[in-house]
Amino acid sequence: MLSPLETGIYAGLGVAAVAGLAVGGYAYASLWPASRIFGRPLTAPRRLGELALTFDDGPNATWTPRLLEALARHDVRATFFMLGSRAAEQPELVRQIAAAGHTIGLHTWSHPKLSHCSAACIREEITRSCTAIEQILGTQVRFFRPPFGARRPAVFRIAREMGLEVVLWDAMTSDWSDQNPDRIVAHLARKIDCIGQRGRAAIVVLHDGGHLDPAANRAPSVAAADLLVARYKATHRFVTLDAWL
Ligand SMILES: [Zn+2]
């Protein structure tokens, strides 16, 4: 027989375990790129040999033009997930990216963690960035990537209402903090090759800006993009996300 104290302790542990599982489950559902629990993002098709390069947190006056040069040198197009606040400051650069044949998507106005935002805040972040970028481009934007990949069901619902496809990723590494382009490429290549062995295409993420610091050094990310394209150019086709709609 358990004493009342022991019964209380075990009951408390049970509640703590359930609460722990609930917190862990929510974190998985809202943050894990492969989770489909809160909604279905655009996924890379079962098609070997295709890569969609994507760049987040720009446009950036220093690094985006260098990235555009590298992509042009390889004759490769990519998808840019822009912050509305940065795009509004640099409309010419936004138009230059689109004119080079790249696809432009949204990454909110100010980069909040949308899993922690009210529905009104989510709508404001998406609408404000969407309006700003569409006014600059004069065309409709189709893709939206939530910052940190953080989402909850309202993110999918509001994005869908606005005609936006939610996009996460298959291959990411910490290029925002790693100063070594070769190491960035090695980490991404391991993931890309692993996905390729399963016969799938892949969405790859690098960063051409810094959401906290516009002066953040993105030279390693730009160099990594250059090296990554050089590594896969002979065996893979680089596509923008429009190809997978
Ligand atoms: Zn971001």
- Residues 9 and 126 occupy one common structural domain: no
Residue 98 lies in a domain: yes
Whether residues 22 and 71 share a domain: the answer is no
Q: What is the pLDDT of residue 230?
A: 98
Residue 43: inside a domain, yes or no?
no
Q: How far is the CA of 205 from the centre of ligand 1 (A)?
A: 10
Q: Are 188 and 51 in contact, with CB atoms under 8 Å apart?
A: no
Find, among 162, 172, 167, 145, the residue nearest to 245 by Cα: 167
Report the CATH number that the domain containing residue 144 is assigned in CATH.
Answer: 3.20.20.370
Encode 98-110 in three state secondary structure. HHCCCEEEECCCC
Asked whether residue 152 is domain-assigned, the answer is: yes
The counts of H helices and E strands in the chain are 8, 7
132 and 19 in one domain?
no
According to DSSP, residue 212 is labeled S
Catalytic residues: 56, 207
* CA–centroid distance, residue 237 to ligand 1 (Å): 25
- Considering its fold, how many domains does the chain have in total? 2
45 in a domain, yes or no? no
| 198 lies in the same domain as 233 | yes
> Do 228 and 149 sit in the same domain of this protein?
yes
For residue 107, how far is its CA from the centre of ligand 1 (angstroms)? 7
On whether both 210 and 102 belong to a single domain, the answer is: yes
Query: Is 44 part of a structural domain of the chain?
Result: no
Classify residue 13: in a domain, yes or no.
Answer: yes
What pLDDT does 8 receive? 61
Residues 90 and 17 in one domain: no
pLDDT per 10-residue tile (average), the chain, 245 residues:
57 61 73 82 92 98 98 98 98 98 98 97 98 98 97 95 96 97 98 96 98 96 98 97 94
Give the domain extent around 13: 1-31
Q: What is residue 29's predicted lDDT score, i.e. its pLDDT?
A: 80
Amino acid (one-letter) located at 170 = D
Does 38 map to a domain?
A: no
Q: What is the pLDDT of residue 82?
A: 98
Q: How many angstroms separate the alpha carbon of residue 218 from the centre of ligand 1?
A: 13
List of E strands, 94-212: 103-106, 143-144, 165-166, 202-207
Please indicate, yes or no, whether residues 58 and 159 belong to a single structural domain of this protein. yes
Rounded distance from Cα 67 to ligand 1 centre (Å): 17
Separation of 126 CA from ligand 1 center, angstroms? 14
77 and 14 within one domain = no
pTM to 2 decimal places: 0.89
Whole-number Å distance, alpha carbon 194 to ligand 1 midpoint, is: 24
Query: Is the residue at 142 inside a domain?
Result: yes
Query: Are residues 171 and 212 located together in one domain of the fold?
Result: yes
Q: Are residues 158 and 73 in the same domain?
A: yes
> Do both 212 and 91 map to the same domain?
yes
